[in-house]
Amino acid sequence: MIDITLSIAAAVAYGVAPLVYRPALQCTNQFRAMSVFSTYSILLGLLLPWDGASLDGVLSAAAAALFGGVLGSWLYVTAVKIGGAAVGNISSSLYVVLLPIAAGKLALIPAALLVLLGSAIASSYDVVAKRGAFYGVVAAFVWTGSIMLYASAVRALGPGGALFTRGVIVLLATLLLGFNKPLCEAWRLVVGGFIDTFIGFGAYTSAIFYGDYVSATLIMSSYPLISALLEKPFMWRRVAGALAAVAGLVLVALTNK
């Protein structure tokens, strides 16, 4: 029962977090926002177990940080800023499907098409929303490539060491790239980052530890739908797009069973 509760908490956190911080993005540079978010990765890395030190691990974490943590996250935050929380979450969730496809599971191509269909439906109401969906889809491809590097870092440094190293590099890079750029409503970034990283990532990781990976992922995969249901103004197109994307994510979880 605790694993189900934790999975629901993760889904709600991932769905709600961008709704909390998106208003701040309207007057905040993306890199400034990312520098706030990265501090939570550093703190969480200190709490997770470390497996030692390795130059190869540090280099892998650094590459993953620059590719996925800086470029990929900038694309995702831009997708949320331009297209909204639901469009950003729906389009970027494609990476969950791309990972097994990249590993050779070509039978999941229909699942990827479902997520793309969901992105198209959710963003069909507006040209700006379509731009947001485009950024989200590109973020998904970037994250897919960076996760392999991050996996190498986790094997070498442990989850804590890898996350800490990645967070430090992302923080330094985004502080440099966001230097003297606008920042407003910082409290939204602080709260949204806490919800996403500590509650979302922490609850999902714990759910996998206490229960079944497939069940936890099935429940957690509902997060784009939560964003679509809660985002204002309410739009049926976003909900329909989220349902299509969630169907694709569920297909992946069931295939991995």
63-89 pLDDT per residue, tens:
999 999 999 999 999 999 999 999 999
CA terminus-to-terminus distance, the chain:
19
What's the mean pLDDT in 161-166? 91
- In this prediction, residue 211 carries a pLDDT of 75
Asked if residue 27 has pLDDT above 90, the reply is: yes
pLDDT for residue 168:
96
Q: Does pTM top 0.75 for this prediction?
A: yes
The share of the chain scoring above pLDDT 70, in percent, equals 98
- pLDDT tens per residue across span 183-195: 999 999 999 999 9
pLDDT band at residue 214 under the 50/70/90 scheme? low
- Which residue would you say has higher pLDDT here, 221 or 17? 17
**CA dihedral (226, 231, 234, 236) positive or negative:** negative
> Which pLDDT score is estimated for 252?
79
Residue of 126 and 21 predicted with greater confidence: 21
User: Alpha helices, DSSP H only, in 69-126?
Assistant: 73-83, 85-92, 94-102, 109-122
Please state, rounded to an integer, the average pLDDT across all residues of the chain: 89
Reported confidence tier of residue 200, pLDDT bands at 50, 70, 90: confident
249 vs 4: CA distance, rounded Å: 17
Please choose, from the candidates 4, 14, 75, 3, the residue with its C-alpha nearest in 3D space to the C-alpha of residue 245.
Answer: 14
> pLDDT tens digits, residue range 116-161?
998 989 888 788 899 999 999 999 999 988 888 888 888 889 888 9
C-alpha gyration radius of the chain: 17
Question: According to the model, what pLDDT value does residue 164 have?
Answer: 93
